[in-house]
Amino acid sequence: MRNLIEEYKELTANCARTDYADKKSVKRHNKSVDRMYEIAEKIGYEDTTETISDFIKLLDIIENKTNVWAAVHILERIPIDSKIEKKALGIIKQIAKGDSAEAMGFQSWLDDYKRKNK
């Protein structure tokens, strides 16, 4: 069986290479994101040999924004303690700074997260 953590990292690389002017590239990006959610859910439900602790280590990998993807997926799909939640939110808050389209998207994501997790 293929290691899901390694697959997840390959999927973040797919996303990092996305050419938004190319429909095939965007489609590959979207499929990669869907698969990343599946992997996070499987690990979160402890339905794999990989553990939640293994997945949390992705927060330390900045290559291809793996830490950002993992932060979102951890907060949305994996039961965690407050220490890990704080670390994941810190990663997202850092990306949300500024006025780029990406920053504004993450600002909106943070607002939604706060609203859902009061």
- Write out the chain's pLDDT in tens, 118 residues: 469 999 999 999 999 999 999 999 999 999 999 999 999 999 999 888 999 999 999 999 999 999 999 999 999 999 999 999 999 999 999 999 989 999 999 999 999 999 999 8
- Give the per-residue pLDDT at 1: 42
pLDDT in tens, 6-15: 999 999 999 9
How many folded domains does the chain comprise? Answer: 1
Please report, for residues 6, 29, 97, 112, 113, the alpha-carbon distance to residue 54 in angstroms, rounded to integers and kept in the order given: 11, 24, 28, 27, 24
CB atoms under 10 Å from CB of 44, counted, come to: 18
Range of the domain at 66: 4-116
**What gap in Å lies between CA 12 and CA 61, rounded to an integer?**
11
> What contacts 89, CB < 8 A, 6 or more positions away?
71, 75, 110, 113
Q: Which two tokens stand for residue 18?
A: 């996305």
Torsion of CA 16, 27, 89, 97, to 10 degrees: 60
